[in-house]
Amino acid sequence: MRKNWKKLVSLVLTAACTMVVTVAPVFADAASTPAYSPVEASTVDSLLSSSVQWVGQSLMTYSDDDLANMEASDQQFYARAAEAWEEAKADLGEVKSLEDGTLEVDGDFVTCTIPGEFEKNPGIVRVFWNISTGTPVPTDLTITVEESKGVLIGQAGMNTIIGIGTVFVMLIFLIFVISSFDYILGDKKKKKAPAAPVQEAPKAVAAPVVEETAPEADDMELQAVITAAIAMYEEDMASASGDAYVARPIRRKGKRA
């Protein structure tokens, strides 16, 4: 029994290995089949070179009248291509060189990306193709203006200057607002503070008026006082000696020889 089981297992493994070896190339061929199966790979690869040639040698060499005629054309691709070049021509200038570019396939659509050097700025041209019908048909063309390094550096410097200037302006404004708080709050405090009572100035006291006596009245009073004093003196002397006047001789002493 064990031998039979071993033989059966070996047969199953052999069959499985045979199937894997047989089916693997089929899947490999399917995986290697390009997505643009309706068109041959060589034809799709030639789309890039033909796009570069037509853009560089035809579209970008047309005069303004030729471009105007293309814009009025019934063929949508040529009208859109002329319009795209008219819009980008002022920013790009004359074409100097076009690179080989790259090819991108997405289902039934192929995108040819062609970088180029122009007189003013670098640019990128994209040509779109439709290969679903078996015959490649151009459907659209766009031109993107890429800013040069000098322009980018200039814009970066300008943005830096604008940013720094904005910061300084904001700082000055904040300083002004903060400094205004003192005046605003000071005015409010002055309005809220009660008014100090006003002290009245002391009234001036009137000096006493001294009545001036007339000089004649003063002399008369003085005479009256002297007269009264003399009268009293005479009365005293009279009462003492009995005579109103007493005469006393005045002797002068002579000098001795």
Q: What is the pLDDT of residue 32?
A: 40
Q: Is residue 165 part of a domain?
A: yes
Using a 10 angstrom Cβ sphere, with 0-12 exposed, 13-18 middle and 19 or more buried, the burial of residue 157 is exposed
Say whether both 50 and 108 belong to one domain. Answer: yes
Q: What is the pLDDT of residue 35?
A: 46
Over residues 210-226, mean pLDDT:
66
Residue pair 111/139 in contact by the 8 Å Cβ criterion? no
Say whether both 17 and 110 belong to one domain. Answer: no
Please write the tens of the pLDDT for every residue from 56-86.
Answer: 989 999 999 999 999 998 899 999 999 999 9
Q: Is residue 1 part of a domain?
A: yes
Say whether both 86 and 71 belong to one domain. Answer: yes
Confidence band of 107 (pLDDT split at 50, 70, 90): confident
Say whether both 61 and 141 belong to one domain. Answer: yes
Residue pair 47/141 in contact by the 8 Å Cβ criterion? no
Q: Is residue 129 part of a domain?
A: yes
- Total length of the chain: 257
Please write the tens of the pLDDT for every residue from 40-58.
Answer: 777 888 899 999 999 998 9
Q: Is residue 67 part of a domain?
A: yes
User: Structurally, how many domains does the chain consist of?
Assistant: 3
Task: Compute CA distances 109 → 50, 84, 138, 175, whole Å.
Answer: 16, 20, 10, 62
Say whether both 10 and 55 belong to one domain. Answer: no
Phi, psi angle pair for 211, to nearest 5°: -75, 125
Domain that holds residue 140: 41-146
DSSP E strands, the chain:
95-98, 102-106, 109-118, 123-130, 137-145
Say whether both 74 and 170 belong to one domain. Answer: no
Confidence band of 112 (pLDDT split at 50, 70, 90): very high
CATH, residue 85: 3.10.450
Write out the two tokens for 99: 């690179």
Residue pair 130/109 in contact by the 8 Å Cβ criterion? yes
